[in-house]
Amino acid sequence: MKFFIDTAEVADIRELAETGLVDGVTTNPSLIAKSGRKILDVIAEICDIVPGPISAEVAATDFDTMLAEGRKLAKLRSNVAVKVPLTPAGLKTCKALSDDGVKVNVTLCFSANQAILAAKAGAAFISPFVGRLDDIGQDGMELIADIVAIYREYPMWRTEVLAASIRHPMHVTEAARLGAHVATMPPSVLRQMYKHPLTDKGLEAFMSDWAKTGQSIL
Ligand code: G3P
pLDDT at 169: 98
Q: Please state, in angstroms and as integers, the Cα–Cα distance from residue 180 to each residue in 34, 64, 125, following that order.
A: 28, 32, 11
CA 114, distance to chain mean position in Å, is 18
Q: Can you tell me the distance from the alpha carbon of 184 to that of 2, in angstroms, rounded to the nearest whole number?
A: 8
Q: In the structure, what pLDDT confidence band is assigned to residue 54 with cuts at 50, 70 and 90? A: very high
Query: Of 111, 67, 72, whose CA–CA distance to 90 is shortest?
Result: 67
The string of pLDDT tens digits covering residues 166-177 is: 999 999 999 999
Q: What is the pLDDT of residues 97-116, one digit of tens each?
A: 999 999 999 999 999 999 99
Length of the chain: 218
C-beta neighbour count of 202 within 10 angstroms: 11
CA distances, 86 to each of 62, 89, 94, 126, 152 (Å)? 12, 8, 9, 9, 21
Q: Which atom of ligand 1 is nearest to the CA of 127?
A: 2
Instruction: State the pLDDT at residue 4.
Output: 98
Q: Which residues of 93-132 are buried (b: 16+ CB within 10 A; e: fewer)?
A: bbbbbbeeebbbbbbbbbebebbbbbbebbbbbbbbbbee
Among the listed residues 34, 38, 75, 83, the single catalytic one is 83
For the chain, what are the domain ranges? Answer: 2-213
Q: Tell me the one-letter amino acid at 109.
A: C
The closest-lying atom of ligand 1 relative to the alpha carbon of residue 184 is 4
Lining residues, ligand 1, CB within 6 Å: 6, 26, 28, 129, 131-132, 164-165, 184
- % of the chain at pLDDT higher than 70: 100
The pLDDT value recorded for residue 204 is: 98
Would you place residue 18 in the very low, low, confident or very high pLDDT band (cuts 50, 70, 90)? very high
Residues 35-40, mean pLDDT to the nearest whole number:
98
pLDDT at 68: 98
Identify the bridge partners of residue 3 per DSSP, sorted by sequence position. Answer: 183
From 186, 144, 148, select the one nearest 165 (Cα to Cα). 186
The β-bridge relationship of strands 80-85 and 104-109 is: parallel
Q: Look at ligand 1, atom 10, and give the residue with the nearest C-alpha.
A: 165
- State how far the Cα of 14 lies from the Cα of 28, in Å rounded to an integer: 18
Q: Is 72 a catalytic residue?
A: no
> What is the pLDDT at residue 132?
98
**Structure confidence at residue 189 as a pLDDT band (50, 70, 90):** very high
Is the domain covering 2-213 a CATH 3.20.20.70 domain? yes
Q: What is the pLDDT of residue 155?
A: 95
Atom of ligand 1 nearest to the CA of 107: 2
**Beta strand spans in the chain (E):** 2-6, 24-26, 54-57, 80-85, 104-109, 125-128, 160-163, 182-185
pLDDT for 88 equals 98
Mean pLDDT along residues 119-131: 98
CB-side neighbour CA atoms (13 Å) of 116:
8
* Probe target for ligand 1 pocket from 107, 165, 182, 184, with the most ligand atoms within 8 Å of CB: 165
